[in-house]
Amino acid sequence: MTKRLLVATLALLVVSVAALCLGTPIVGVNRLPAAFAGETDLEHAVVVLLRAPRLVLGLLVGAALAVAGLLLQESLRNPLAVPELLGVSSGAAVLVGVCVVWALPFPGAPLVPALVGAVIGGLITLLAARRAVGPAAVLLIGAAVNAAMQALLLTAVSLSDSREQGVLFRYLLGSLTGTTWSSVAVSAPGLIALLPLALLCVPLLGVLRLGDETASALGVRADRARLIVLVVACALVAIAVAPSGPIAWVGFLGPHLARRLRPNADPRIWLGWSALFGALLVVVADLAARTVLYPVELPVGGLTALVAIVLAALLIRRRAVLG
């Protein structure tokens, strides 16, 4: 346990330093203290003003999406439940798309409209799922809301011109491009406050894992407990996707990697490991996105989706060999 945690923490530290140093121009590790101290204008601007806010936001967004994914999977008792099925990510994308296509003077765009859209999408799902019976019904309602949002989004994209489509697609695929300390200041307080709140949901997850009938026998209303967990998950996803867009598969990969590393642990342990894997995944993907094909910047969500496909293929191959 301690050895694994030490290795994972060291890996996250190495990746974080690499995210600050690598790129154009390359900043040596020995030059990082001078860059933060502002001894040279170029290094200070590159490290402190450009790369550091992307790193901080990537860590927080990755952790939040992975924790939200774990909350969904455990509360709905479905390992395929992902934040994308809440209607939150698609709600943010719809409002950003509408603002871009019709050039609406929305203050704080695209951050504020994305946050408002995410909240609206999550509220629609929560209100519709309020009287749902069982986790399967909640998952189906979330999928229906997401499909409706996607239809609205496609309509907005079809009405946009080529210049607007470039902005839309970059956001819709998930990107940390253009992240500033102002973006971090808007999102970080909410994410930092909600992550510990997710830890308070762990006792509810333990009861929900036993099934609705067992939970009722223990004196816990399963529908109300599930709704509380969903509210926290929706809030995490809403604040995470507002500045970065819907970075796909992080909410799926983080919890699954945590379970494979600690298969016999409880949700409290999985929560911490999910946050760590989610943060690591987004930071690595963002580093690759801005360096692999420089000066072209790849979408972070596209790279995380590629990682998901590769891992799925490896798992299928392993099962075929063992089977």
Q: Tell me: pLDDT of 320 over 70.
A: no
Rounded to an integer, what distance in angstroms lies between the CA atom of residue 308 and that of residue 247?
A: 12
Rounded to an integer, what distance in angstroms lies between the CA atom of residue 284 and that of residue 58?
A: 9
Q: Tell me: pLDDT of 315 over 80.
A: no
Query: What are the structure tokens assigned to 178, written together?
Result: 């253009």
Q: Please, what are the domains in the chain?
A: 1-321 (1.10.3470.10)
Higher local confidence (pLDDT), 259 or 104: 259
Task: Report the pLDDT value the prediction gives residue 164, as an integer from 0 to 100.
Answer: 67
Task: Report the pLDDT value the prediction gives residue 281, as an integer from 0 to 100.
Answer: 95
The predicted-structure confidence for 124-157, as pLDDT tens digits, reads as follows 887 887 776 667 777 788 888 888 988 888 887 7
Task: Report the pLDDT value the prediction gives residue 266, as an integer from 0 to 100.
Answer: 87
The predicted-structure confidence for 70-127, as pLDDT tens digits, reads as follows 998 998 888 878 887 778 888 888 888 888 778 788 777 766 787 788 888 888 887 8
Cα distances (Å, whole numbers) of residue 309 to 37, 109, 298: 42, 32, 17
The predicted-structure confidence for 203-238, as pLDDT tens digits, reads as follows 988 888 877 788 778 777 888 888 888 889 888 988
Query: Which DSSP symbol is given to 209?
Result: T
Q: Does this model's pTM top 0.85?
A: yes
Residues contacting 291, CB < 8 A, separation 6+: 22, 23
